[in-house]
Amino acid sequence: MSTFTPEKASADIGVYGLGVMGANLARNLARNGYATAVFNRTQARTEKLMAQHGDEATFIPASTLEDFIASLRTPRVAIMMVQAGPSTDAVMEQLAALMDEGDIIVDCGNSLFTDTIRREKWAAERGLHFVGAGVSGGEEGALWGPSIMPGGTPASYDRLGPMFEAIAATYDGVPCCTYIGANGAGHFVKMVHNGIEYADMQVIAEAYTLLREGLGATPAEIADIFAAWNEGELNSYLMEITVEVLRQVDAETGKPLVDLIVDAASQKGTGKWTVQTALDLAVPVTAIGEATFARGASSEPAQRAAGQTLAGNASALVIESDEARAAFIEDVRQALFASKIVAYSQGFDEIEAGAAEYEWDIDKGALARIWRAGCIIRAAFLDDITRAYEADPDLPLLLAACDKIDGGGLALTDKVTVSREAARVPGPTAFLEAYENAEVSMLLKAAAVICAGDAIYALGEAAYGSIEACAIAAAEKLNSMGIQAESGEIANGSVRLSADDLVRIGGKLSTSECFSLYSGIFYDSIQHEDGRTTELASSNKLIKSCVGTNGVATGSSAEAGYCGIFSAKRGSAVFICAVIGAKNSSERAAKAKAMLEYAFAAYDIKTVAKQGERIAAVEVKNGTASVAELTAREGVVCLLPKNSELQSDKDIPDMLEAPVSKNDVLGSITYSLDGEQIAKVELVSSADIPRAGTAHYVGRILCEWLHA
């Protein structure tokens, strides 16, 4: 047996535990230029790693744990790749006993997040940092680039982050690694990731069963079908490897390999934890739950065999034409895609609920980005999910559509046929289907409550004939409001809006009669023509927590943070505010509520003048009337600090010379506060007063004589 005695402080990072995952992670670190200390309780694994891969890069092996720790540069970083549970606690205690204040222990195993919260607290009490990092991608991912989800303290990520980002998979040049949040946040999202994986695998298996049992298709034929699907929106790692498995043939029997594999699936616990945690958080994760239960059922062969005799187990379908076969395959494809979306959506719902419960600042858009490569659930539509968390680019389209409805160009009871393009719009969705007929009121409700991109798109097409025409109208509307935007940017969702822009748009939307019908709803549902129901739950928490809140919209992106436009009305006062750059949805709501409550507490809405209100009377010379009543040309409302008094400066003539036109501005009153002009009321005559002629004077004299 060899004796490894490393040089002190010679390694950038260390890996404890050299099973397949640990060894491959160490090789990945070393290959990316980091001198990597390696240690295993059974030294044979250390020797195997050095014998097979020692010449790949800089490895620093150690025979004792003391030498392993001593070889690490400060602040030391030691990664544990050991079995979850008591083994992790035992190794952690061994490492902590040899480490100094500020050193970092990293658990890259699949630990339960509540254990990670406990361990982080234990480490902090000893002056150490503890990082629970989810690592997805299996053996190949660990070696060539996984998706990494580290939690812990921000300070630990400052030291660890650059190394993890260097070894992570990349997508469009972006590392599939980001800081997730405090203590157990990293392991929490990895747990949910695995739960989504359970559901994804289950629905693929169910699609296989429908094609195998329903069509009588062979595994090879299904492989071809899946391969074609993998070229489109269903492209994913799991579809890819499913195709490979289905094409395998057993050399001895000549039978498809899938028919010879024991159909019993084990589980490591993350799926179960996901479901248990969802129950604790009161979040429905039905797709993940059913997948987890299906794994349990697969381990009961006798029970499943008994179920095969039930009447519901029908034989293959009778399909008499190629067209019917193709239609059935397309139905299964769409069902699979919808099921995947549901699974991912439920997973993200659980992540949001967990973040709120444990006060984690989790960026869901960032999660979608780091899951696009390296991890098991990587799929093409994660790119769509990433874009879905961008600050809402659909608001200008919605503004234009509401203008059209308010103007009578589109009735709430009108029926709209949803286009294929509208049904495929990513982001918050009303789950509209192509060619579905939907009432404008239904689409507007989905748009107002959850900013459903598909509903907004469908409204825009219905109101203007095409989304391009709607974008042109939206651009014209924004430009009239002083907001510079190109129609092309609006149409493709690339328009960028400032906080001031958002407030202006929010103000216009909040005064829209049709939008106001639904914008204050926190939870509701819509009914589709095929009987489906889509639940609508607003992400605007102020509707429940801030009196008078009636909209408007929320969104988030990695660049802008959590953003929102919020409107609230109390009495005659309506205030609009915008939040940009919040860390999470809770902070966004808290900042918005603070601004609105301050506004209502500090300011009053004062009506200076009502349109047509009589302000003054002025003598008219040589007119058919001797006096002109001056009225306010327009109503003027001011926002004033509470208990403040306005000063007025009147500019009203002593006498007018006929003729007098009611369209002419004849005077004004300027209102100021502390020397600053606040408002100006222009005055006009309440009626036209023509110049008087001779007949008029004769008539007046005669009238006075008769009444004398």
d(CA 204, CA 227): 13
| Pairing, β 533-537 against β 523-527 | antiparallel
Residue 116: enclosing H or E segment and its boundaries? Answer: helix 113-124
d(CA 443, CA 404): 14
The contacts of residue 353 (CB under 8 Å, 6+ apart) are 278, 281, 282, 283
- pLDDT value, residue 314: 56
* Token output for 232: 């489109």
Sign (positive or negative) of CA dihedral 451, 453, 454, 457 = positive
- Residue 420: CB atoms within 10 Å: 9
Total length of the chain: 708
Contact (CB, 8 A) for 355 and 361:
yes
d(CA 426, CA 200): 19
* Token output for 144: 């060539």
- pLDDT value, residue 562: 79
- Residue 441: CB atoms within 10 Å: 17
* Token output for 287: 């797709």
Strands of 100-189, DSSP E:
104-107, 129-136, 147-150, 170-171, 174-175
d(CA 550, CA 515): 10
d(CA 282, CA 667): 65
Say what angle helices 237-246 and 219-229 make with each other, to 10 degrees. 160
d(CA 600, CA 548): 11
pTM score = 0.61
d(CA 122, CA 130): 9
Say what angle helices 286-298 and 185-209 make with each other, to 10 degrees. 70
d(CA 90, CA 95): 9
Q: Give which of 317, 314, 313 is closest to 304, Cα–Cα.
A: 313
- CA 580 from chain centre, in angstroms, equals 14
d(CA 262, CA 258): 9
Lookup result for tokens 């921000």: 154
Question: Which residues in the chain land under pLDDT 70?
Answer: 1, 311-316, 383-393, 427, 557-559, 693-708
- pLDDT value, residue 91: 96
Residues serving a catalytic function are: 190, 197
d(CA 669, CA 303): 88
Lookup result for tokens 């103007």: 407
d(CA 460, CA 681): 38
List strands edge to edge, sheet with 104-107: 59-61, 36-39, 13-16, 77-80, 104-107, 129-136, 147-150
* Token output for 398: 């919605």
Lookup result for tokens 């234990």: 122
d(CA 153, CA 701): 96
